[in-house]
A and B are shown apart, each in its own frame.
Chain A
Amino acid sequence: MYAFEYHRPTSVSEAAKLVGQTEDVKFLAGGHTLLPTMKLRLAGPAHLIDLGQVAELCGIERSGDTLTIGAMTKHTEVANSPEVRAAIPALAELAELIGDPHVRNRGTIGGSIANNDPSADYPAACLALDATIVTDRRTIAADDFFQGIFTTALDEGEIITKVSFRAPAQGAYAKFRNPASRYALVGVFVAQYADGVRVAVTGAGSNGVFRATAMEEALSRNFAPEALDGVSVPETEMNSDIHADAAYRAHLVGVMARRTVQAAAARG
C-alpha cells in the first residue's frame, strides 16, 4: 500500500468540500474492492475519504411502494431490515447472499453500486427494481446509471447518498456463484410490476449488468418459467473466463431466470 492522506468527514457537505479541495481522491465505503487494490499497489490515491462516520448516509425508509436505503447502509442491515423484508423480500435475500458475514458487516450498498463490479449483486437489483440513485448533486435512473464494467454515470467526486427502489408485485433473485470467489458468475433478478416485468442480469455480461429484454417481454406476457423456453441471451454479449465461457454463462442465465421466476411465483 502506498501512503495516503486519510480523511473522515461527518457530513456529506464536509465530504464534498474535501473533494473540492484535493485531487486524486477516493471515497472509502466498505472498502472490499478499494483496500485490496491498494494493498496490491494497483491503486494509490493521494487522499482517502472515509464515509464511515457520515450518519446521514445510513438508514432504511419505506414510503408506500418506495423503499429508500442510505448509501452507507451495510448488507447485514438490508438483509435483516423488517422494512425491506416486508416491501421487497427478494432484496433482503440478495443482501443475505453477498459474500460472507465479514463482508456483509462492512460492505455497503452505495459502495457496491458506485464500483459497479460486473459480478456484484446490487446492480442487478437496481436495474430490476427500477431504482433511482440519489447523489449529492442529482438523481439518476438506474437504467442510466450503469454504463459498463466499473463505469457509472457518477462524475468525479460525486457522492451517492441513497438508493430508492420500487416495490414489485413479485420478485426474486438467484445467483450462481463463481466457485472460487463466490461472486456472481451469473445472477438474475426478476421483478414483476403492473406495467411489465423487469429482468436484470449480473455477472454474465461482457459489458456488465444488463436487462434481458427478450426475457422481460416473454415474462410480461406470461410470468411462468416455461415462458422462457426458447428465449435466451446472446452468447456474443457474454463474458468469458477460466470459470465459465460465454456459452455456459448464456445457458446459466436461462437456468437462473427460470429458477428465479419459479421462486417469485412460489412466494406469491
Chain B
Amino acid sequence: MTVTGIGAPVRRKEDQRFITGQGRYVDDFNRPGQAYAYFLRSPHAHAAIRSIDTGPAKSMPGVIAVFTGDDLAADKIGGLICGWMIHSKDGSPMKAGPHPALAQGKVRYVGDHVAVVIAETLAQAKDAAEAIVVDYEVLPAVVDTAQAAKASVQVHDVSPDNTVFNWHLGNKDETEAAFARAKHVTTIDLVNNRLVPNAIEPRAALGEYDSGTDTYTLYTTSQNPHVARLVLSAFIGVAPEHKLRVIAPDVGGGFGSKIFIYAEETVCVWAAKKVKRPVKWTADRSEAFLSDAHGRDHVTHAEMATDENGRIIGLRVHTIANLGAYLSTFSSSVPTYLYAPLLSGQYDIPAIYCEVDAVYTNTAPVDAYRGAGRPEATFVLERLVEKTARELGQDPAEFRRRNYITQFPHATPVIMTYDTGDYAASLDKALEIADYKNFPARKQESARRGKLRGIGFSSYIEACGIAPSQAVGSLGAGVGLWESAEVRVNPTGSVEVLTGSHSHGQGHETTFAQLVSDRLGIPIDQVSIVHGDTDKVQFGMGTYGSRSGAVGMSAIAKALDKVIAKGKKVAAHVLEASEGDIEFKDGRFGVAGTDRSLAFGEVALQAYVAHKFSGQDLEPGLKEGAFYDPTNFTFPAGVHICEVEIDPETGVTRIERWTAVDDFGVLINPMIVEGQVHGGIAQGVGQALLEGAVYDQSGQLVTASFNDYCMPRAIDLPSFQIDMTVTPCPSNPLGIKGCGEAGAIAAPPAVINAITDALGHEDIAMPATPQAVWRAAQKARMPMAAE
C-alpha cells in the first residue's frame, strides 16, 4: 500500500473547498437574465380543482408568466414516471395513476404542485402565487397505511382499492409446511416509521434554453444526471436527449431523495423555453419536508418458525407499504425487490414467503431512502430473531450463530445467491469489543442507580452494488444498472477520469483518485475526477445503493487496464522491444530482464506525439473507456451491538455503547468508510429514537419543520467502536462490497432490541421517544396496572 493507494486513509481532496465555502451547488449558479420560479402548492391533502384563476397573479409586478397543468398538457409534456414495473400475484401490472408535473383536476397531497409563477424576483413570484385563485372542492383524505386499502376514499381512478399491487416472493407451499411442523412460532407486528430525508442542501433546479442552438441546460440536485436526462427526454418529452445537457454539480447530500425526477426540474426546463429566460427554483426547507420523496412507511406482520433444535425453518411476512399519492421514480422497487430478497439475512432459512401490498395514500410520495428496502427487511428479521431467541430462552448472540449461513455460495429462497462472508467472525469480534460477558454486571450497576440497561444485536446483511442489468431487467427495472468510465491520459501524464457515478458527499474525488494512483503509480494530485455533467461524461447510472465503489470503480479499473495495455504497446515501440516483453510496475513500463524503462508520463507523451510508431501500427493517444456490468449483487454484512440505559422516570434512552463490526470487502479508504458508518448509524439511530413523519387524519404534515421533526444530534450518539472483518467480494475486480448504507440498515433493530431488552417486553415502536419509552417502562414496572 502506498500513501495514496488502495487502503490508505487519504484525507478527502474535496473537503478543502466544501469547508471553506468554495463548493458550487445548484443555487450558486446564476445565469444572465435569470428569473425565479415559485410553486403554488396544495394546502389540502385531497381536493378536486374546480377552477384556477391566474389572471390577477399575471398582472402583478415582476410577473413573467403563470403556468398550470393545462399549459404543460397543451405542450404535450408527459407526466412523471415510475421506472420499475411490478406485477401482482395474479400477473396484472401495477396500477400507476397519472402523475402530472402540475396538477390536472385534482391534488393528492399537501405540497402537490398546483401552478408555477415565474417572476423577476422570488419575492414577486411568491406575492403573485398568493393572488392565484384556486377553487378547491376539498375531499376526505386517506393517510393511514394499514387502512388505505379498506378506505372509502379513492386516491386514483385506476386503483379503486388504493392498491398499487399485491406482490409476493418466495416459496409459499414450503413455508406453509415449515410452519406446520414447527416446534415454536414467534410472531411480531411492526411499523417501520416514515422518514423525511433532509439532505442539508434542499433540492434546486435551474433551466436554461439557447434558442440559437435549440438546446437546453438543466442544473439540478441529482444523484444521477444521465438518468434524469433520459427520463426528461424519452418519457416526459421536455427536450430531445441530445439537445438536453444535465449538470449535477456539487450536491449536498441525497440519501436517495435526489435519485428521482421531480416536477420542479421538469417545469424549470420547459418554462425556460416558454419565457425565453433561465428559470431557477430552490426549495426552502418547508418545501423539502412536504415534497421530497419520503422513506420507509411499512406496516408488517411477520412470523418465524423454529424446530426443536432452535433452528429457523421458516419465515412468513406480510407487509403493507405506503407509496404515497403518486409512484415516484423507483418507488415500486423499494418494498419489493430491494426488500423481500433480504429477508433471509445472515441465516440459513430454507423456506421464506413474503407478501407485499403497496398502497396509495394522500401523503407525499415514498421512495428510496438510505438503505431502501433493506433497512425495512433487516428491521423485520432482526426484531423477529431477537424475539424468537428470547421466547426460546436462548442467548441472542448464540441463537444467531446457530442459524448463520456458513457455506458459500449460498442460494436463499428469495432470489439472492450470497457469494462470500464470515458472519461468525464478525460476531466474535463484536462480542469481544462490546465486552458482552460483563454486560450483566453493567446492568446490575445501572439497576442500583434506578436505571434500566439493555443490549441489542443486529446481524444485518444487505445487497449492494446494484446490479447485474440482466437480473434487474428480468425483475422489472426499466434501465440497466452497469456503470461507465473513461480514463483520459493527458500528454503530460496527468489523468482525468470521467465517471457515471455521482458524488454528493461520498468522497469520490479522493477514493477514485486513489484507485488511479494505485494502478498507474502516479500521485493523486495528478488525477482529476469528472462527474455530474452529461456533456462531459458519456453515460452513467449514478450513485445510490452503495454502487459507486463496486460498480463505478470497477468500470474505472477496467478502463485503467485498457490504458495500461495501450501503454505497453506504446512503450514497446519506444523501447524497441516486443509488446510481450513489456511489464508495467510501480508506474514504469519496462522491458523484462533489462534496466530499460519509461515512466508512465513519458509513455503518455510518446502516445500523443506519436513519433515512434506509425499510424498503421498503432493509434495515437491514450484514452480508454469501459462499461462494467456486475455479475452479482455484493453482500456487505456485519454485527452491530447497541447498549442503552433508560431513565424510567423520564423515559430518556441514552446509548451508552455502540459496537460495529462490518465486512465491506476490500476498503479503498478506511477513513471515508468509517465516516460512512458513523453517518449511517446516526441516521439509523435517528429512525429508532427520534425521527418520524406524522400526518394528521386530514393529511396535514404535522412534522413539517425541525421544530417537530427530530434529527439526530451529536449529543444523541456515543463514540462508536468500529472494526472490520474482510472477505473480499469475488464478483468484482476490486473485491469491494460497499458501505454507504450499512449503518442505517443495521442500527434501528439494534436500538430497539436493546430497549426491549431493558424494558423486559417487546411493546415499543419507532421512534422510541422519551414519552413512548416512559409509557412502556410504566407497563414493564406495573404489569397488573397496565392490564
What residues make up the interface of A, taking CB atoms closer than 8 Å to B?
A: 1-3, 40-41, 176, 179-181, 183, 242-245, 248, 251-252, 255
Write the nearest CB–CB distance from A119 to chain B, whole angstroms.
10
Q: A248-B771, A255-B649 are in contact. Are A181 and B126 (CB under 8 A)?
A: no
Write the nearest CB–CB distance from B361 to chain A, whole angstroms.
19
A41 to B126, CA, bound (A): 10
Assess whether B649 is in contact with A248, with CB atoms less than 8 Å apart: no
Assess whether B774 is in contact with A251, with CB atoms less than 8 Å apart: yes
Q: A40-B286, A243-B769 are in contact. Are A180 and B126 (CB under 8 A)?
A: no
A183 to B707, CA, bound (A): 9
Contacting residues, chain B, for A1 (C-beta < 8 A): 123
Write the nearest CB–CB distance from B103 to chain A, whole angstroms.
22
Question: Is B775 interfacial (CB-CB < 8 Å)?
Answer: yes
Given contacts A1-B123, A3-B123, 13 further A-B contacts (CB under 8 A): A2-B127, A40-B286, A176-B650, A176-B770, A179-B769, A180-B710, A180-B711, A242-B708, A243-B769, A243-B771, A244-B770, A244-B771, A248-B774
Question: Is B439 interfacial (CB-CB < 8 Å)?
Answer: no
Contacting residues, chain A, for B769 (C-beta < 8 A): 179, 243
Assess whether A181 is in contact with B702, with CB atoms less than 8 Å apart: no
Assess whether A180 is in contact with B694, with CB atoms less than 8 Å apart: no
Assess whether A243 is in contact with B708, with CB atoms less than 8 Å apart: yes
Write the nearest CB–CB distance from B196 to chain A, whole angstroms.
12
A41 to B703, CA, bound (A): 19
A3 to B62, CA, bound (A): 15
A250 to B771, CA, bound (A): 12
A41 to B709, CA, bound (A): 21
Assess whether B775 is in contact with A248, with CB atoms less than 8 Å apart: yes
Assess whether B286 is in contact with A242, with CB atoms less than 8 Å apart: no
| A-facing residues in B235-293 (Cβ within 8 Å) | 286
Q: Chain B residue with minimal CB distance to A255?
A: B649
Contacting residues, chain A, for B771 (C-beta < 8 A): 243-245, 248
Assess whether B690 is in contact with A179, with CB atoms less than 8 Å apart: yes
A242 to B703, CA, bound (A): 9
Assess whether B694 is in contact with A242, with CB atoms less than 8 Å apart: yes
Assess whether A181 is in contact with B707, with CB atoms less than 8 Å apart: yes
Question: Is B29 interfacial (CB-CB < 8 Å)?
Answer: no
Q: Chain A residue with minimal CB distance to B775?
A: A248
A226 to B10, CA, bound (A): 58
A40 to B127, CA, bound (A): 12
Contacting residues, chain A, for B690 (C-beta < 8 A): 179-180
Interface size of B as a range:
20 to 34
Contacting residues, chain A, for B286 (C-beta < 8 A): 40
Write the nearest CB–CB distance from B499 to chain A, whole angstroms.
38
Q: Chain A residue with minimal CB distance to B691?
A: A180
A40 to B290, CA, bound (A): 14
Assess whether B706 is in contact with A180, with CB atoms less than 8 Å apart: yes
Contacting residues, chain B, for A179 (C-beta < 8 A): 690, 710, 769-770
A51 to B126, CA, bound (A): 29
Q: A41-B126, A242-B702 are in contact. Are A180 and B709 (CB under 8 A)?
A: yes
Contacting residues, chain A, for B649 (C-beta < 8 A): 255
A1 to B123, CA, bound (A): 7
What residues make up the interface of B, taking CB atoms closer than 8 Å to A?
A: 123, 126-127, 286, 649-651, 690, 694, 702-703, 706-711, 769-771, 774-775
List the 4 closest pairs (A to B, CB-CB), nearest first.
A180-B710, A181-B707, A179-B710, A248-B771
Q: A242-B702, A252-B650, A255-B649 are in contact. Are A180 and B708 (CB under 8 A)?
A: yes
A40 to B284, CA, bound (A): 10
A3 to B127, CA, bound (A): 10
Write the nearest CB–CB distance from B290 to chain A, whole angstroms.
13
Contacting residues, chain A, for B126 (C-beta < 8 A): 41
Q: Which of A1, A3, A180, A245: most chain B CB closer than 10 A?
A: A180
Write the nearest CB–CB distance from B694 to chain A, whole angstroms.
6
Contacting residues, chain A, for B774 (C-beta < 8 A): 248, 251
Contacting residues, chain A, for B775 (C-beta < 8 A): 248
Q: Chain B residue with minimal CB distance to A244?
A: B771
Give 25 A-B contacts (CB < 8 Å), ordered by A residue.
Answer: A3-B123, A40-B286, A41-B126, A179-B690, A179-B710, A179-B769, A180-B690, A180-B706, A180-B707, A180-B710, A181-B706, A181-B707, A181-B708, A242-B694, A242-B703, A242-B708, A243-B771, A244-B770, A244-B771, A245-B771, A248-B651, A248-B771, A248-B774, A248-B775, A252-B650
Q: Which of A176, A179, A183, A255: most chain B CB closer than 10 A?
A: A179
Contacting residues, chain B, for A176 (C-beta < 8 A): 650, 770
Write the nearest CB–CB distance from B121 to chain A, whole angstroms.
11
A242 to B690, CA, bound (A): 12
Contacting residues, chain A, for B694 (C-beta < 8 A): 242
Write the nearest CB–CB distance from A81 to chain B, whole angstroms.
26
A114 to B126, CA, bound (A): 30
A1 to B706, CA, bound (A): 19
Contacting residues, chain B, for A245 (C-beta < 8 A): 771
A81 to B651, CA, bound (A): 34
Contacting residues, chain B, for A183 (C-beta < 8 A): 707
Q: Chain B residue with minimal CB distance to A179?
A: B710
A244 to B772, CA, bound (A): 9
Contacting residues, chain B, for A181 (C-beta < 8 A): 706-708
A183 to B286, CA, bound (A): 20
Q: Chain B residue with minimal CB distance to A251?
A: B774
Q: Chain A residue with minimal CB distance to B694?
A: A242
Contacting residues, chain B, for A41 (C-beta < 8 A): 126
Assess whether B710 is in contact with A255, with CB atoms less than 8 Å apart: no
A95 to B522, CA, bound (A): 56
A242 to B691, CA, bound (A): 12
Contacting residues, chain A, for B127 (C-beta < 8 A): 2
Write the nearest CB–CB distance from A47 to chain B, whole angstroms.
18
Contacting residues, chain B, for A2 (C-beta < 8 A): 127
Write the nearest CB–CB distance from A226 to chain B, whole angstroms.
15
Write the nearest CB–CB distance from A209 to chain B, whole angstroms.
19
Write the nearest CB–CB distance from A266 to chain B, whole angstroms.
17
A268 to B709, CA, bound (A): 39
A255 to B777, CA, bound (A): 15
Write the nearest CB–CB distance from A28 to chain B, whole angstroms.
19
Contacting residues, chain B, for A251 (C-beta < 8 A): 774
A244 to B126, CA, bound (A): 35
A251 to B703, CA, bound (A): 24
A224 to B710, CA, bound (A): 35
Q: Chain A residue with minimal CB distance to B707?
A: A181
A201 to B651, CA, bound (A): 20
Contacting residues, chain A, for B708 (C-beta < 8 A): 180-181, 242-243
Write the nearest CB–CB distance from A151 to chain B, whole angstroms.
20
Q: Chain B residue with minimal CB distance to A3?
A: B123
Contacting residues, chain A, for B707 (C-beta < 8 A): 180-181, 183
Write the nearest CB–CB distance from B692 to chain A, whole angstroms.
8
Q: Chain A residue with minimal CB distance to B703?
A: A242
Q: Which of B651, B709, B711: most chain A CB closer than 10 A?
A: B651
Contacting residues, chain A, for B123 (C-beta < 8 A): 1, 3
Contacting residues, chain A, for B703 (C-beta < 8 A): 180, 242
Write the nearest CB–CB distance from B714 to chain A, whole angstroms.
12
Contacting residues, chain A, for B702 (C-beta < 8 A): 242
Q: Chain B residue with minimal CB distance to A247?
A: B775
Contacting residues, chain B, for A248 (C-beta < 8 A): 651, 771, 774-775
Q: Chain B residue with minimal CB distance to A256?
A: B650
Q: Chain A residue with minimal CB distance to B692?
A: A242
Assess whether A255 is in contact with B706, with CB atoms less than 8 Å apart: no
A248 to B709, CA, bound (A): 19
Q: Chain B residue with minimal CB distance to A252?
A: B650
A244 to B775, CA, bound (A): 11
A217 to B703, CA, bound (A): 39
